[in-house]
Structure 1
Amino acid sequence: MTGRTSMAATAAPAAVATPTACYLGVAIPARLADEGARVALVLLALAREHSASLGGLLVAALMVPHVIAAPVAGALADRVRHRKLFHGLGLAAYGTGLAATAWALGRIPTALVLLLVLAAGCCAPLVTGGLTSLLAELLPERALTRAFSIDSTTYNLAGVLGPALAAMLAATIGPGAALFALGMAALTGACAVPLLRLPARPRTKDRTTDALRPAVLAAGAREILGNPPLRSVTWASSIGQIGIGALPVITALLATERHAGWAAGGLMTAFAVGAMAGSLTYAVKPWTRTRPERVVLLCLPLIALPLALAACVAGMALTTALFATAGWATGPLFSTLLAARERYAPLPLRTQIFTLGAGLKSTAAAAGAAGIGALGGLGAAPLLGMAAAAQIVGAGVGVVLLTHPPRNARRASASREHGTTPAVRRPARLRRHLRPR
Structure 2
Amino acid sequence: MAGPGVLTRYTTAAALARLADEGSRVALLLHVLAVGRGAAFGGLLIGALMVPHVLAAPLVGALADAVRRRRLLYVGGLLGFAAGVTGAALLADPVPAAAFVAAVLAGCCAPLLIGGLSSLLGELAGDRLPRAFGLDATSYSLAGIVGPALAAVLAGWAGGLWAVAALAFCCAIAAVIVVTLPVPDRAATVWGNRPGGALPAIWRRPPLAAVTIASTVSQLGLGALPIVAALLAAGLHDPALAGLTLSAFAVGNLISSLAYARLPLRRIRPETVVPAGLLIMTVPFAMLPIVDGRWSTLALFLLAGVINGPAFASLLVVRDREAPPETRTQVFTIGAGLKVTAAAAGVSVAGLATGHGTAVLLLAVAASQLVAGGLGAALLRRRRPAPRVSPALP
TM-score by length of 1: 0.87
From 264, 271, 290, the equivalent of 1:293 is 271
Deviating more after overlay: 94-103 vs 325-334: 94-103
Aligned twin of 1:7: none
From 89, 93, 97, the equivalent of 2:84 is 97
Look up the equivalent residue of 1:375 and give its one-letter code.
Answer: A
Q: Equivalences for 1:264-275 in 2 at 5 Å? A: 264-275=242-253
> Deviations 1:38-74 (Å, cap 9, x if unpaired)?
1112111211134111111111111111111011111
Mapped to 2, the partners of 1:401 and 1:344 lie a distance apart of 15
Mapped to 2, the partners of 1:51 and 1:68 lie a distance apart of 26
SS at match of 2:284: helix
Aligned twin of 1:370: 348
Aligned twin of 1:40: 27
Runs of 4+ off more than 6 Å: none
> Deviations 1:294-318 (Å, cap 9, x if unpaired)?
0001000221101111121012111
* 8 Å Cα contact 2:37-2:93 kept in structure 1: no
SS at match of 2:78: helix
> Deviations 1:276-330 (Å, cap 9, x if unpaired)?
0111122222223672110001000221101111121012111110100000011
* 8 Å Cα contact 1:241-1:361 kept in structure 2: yes
Q: Structure 1 residues 182 and 289, CA, compared in 2 at 3 Å: closer, same or farther?
A: farther
SS at match of 1:64: helix
Is residue 2:121 matched to residue 1:135?
A: yes
Is residue 2:50 matched to residue 1:83?
A: no
* 8 Å Cα contact 2:17-2:170 kept in structure 1: yes
How well do the aligned residues superpose, as a CA RMSD in angstroms?
Answer: 1.6
Q: Equivalences for 1:224-235 in 2 at 5 Å? A: 224-235=202-213
Deviating more after overlay: 336-345 vs 304-313: 304-313
From 132, 152, 155, the equivalent of 2:140 is 155
> Deviations 1:53-100 (Å, cap 9, x if unpaired)?
111111111111111101111111111111111110011100111111
SS at match of 1:314: coil
Deviating more after overlay: 216-225 vs 71-80: 216-225
Look up the equivalent residue of 1:156 and give its one-letter code.
Answer: S
Look up the equivalent residue of 2:50 and give its one-letter code.
Answer: M
Mapped to 2, the partners of 1:383 and 1:401 lie a distance apart of 27
SS at match of 1:217: coil
**1:423 Cα deviation after fit:** 4.3
Look up the equivalent residue of 1:78 and give its one-letter code.
Answer: D
Look up the equivalent residue of 1:325 and give its one-letter code.
Answer: L
Is residue 2:183 matched to residue 1:198?
A: yes
From 105, 118, 127, the equivalent of 1:119 is 105
Aligned twin of 1:70: 57
Aligned twin of 1:431: none
* 8 Å Cα contact 1:99-1:182 kept in structure 2: no
SS at match of 2:292: coil
* 8 Å Cα contact 1:65-1:122 kept in structure 2: yes
TM-score by length of 2: 0.96
Aligned twin of 1:31: 18
Q: Structure 1 residues 375 and 87, CA, compared in 2 at 3 Å: closer, same or farther?
A: same
Is residue 2:44 matched to residue 1:61?
A: no
From 375, 379, 383, the equivalent of 1:401 is 379
Structure showing greater Rg: 1
Is residue 2:73 matched to residue 1:106?
A: no
Q: Which runs of 5+ in 2 are unaligned?
A: none
* 8 Å Cα contact 1:99-1:181 kept in structure 2: no
**1:105 Cα deviation after fit:** 0.9
Q: Which runs of 5+ in 1 are unaligned?
A: 1-11, 413-420, 425-437
Is residue 2:165 matched to residue 1:180?
A: yes
* 8 Å Cα contact 1:77-1:86 kept in structure 2: yes
Mapped to 2, the partners of 1:394 and 1:155 lie a distance apart of 21
SS at match of 1:259: coil
Aligned twin of 1:316: 294
Aligned twin of 2:389: 422
Q: Equivalences for 1:231-380 in 2 at 5 Å? A: 231-288=209-266, 291-380=269-358
Deviating more after overlay: 276-285 vs 352-361: 276-285
Deviating more after overlay: 31-40 vs 310-319: 310-319
* 8 Å Cα contact 2:58-2:330 kept in structure 1: yes
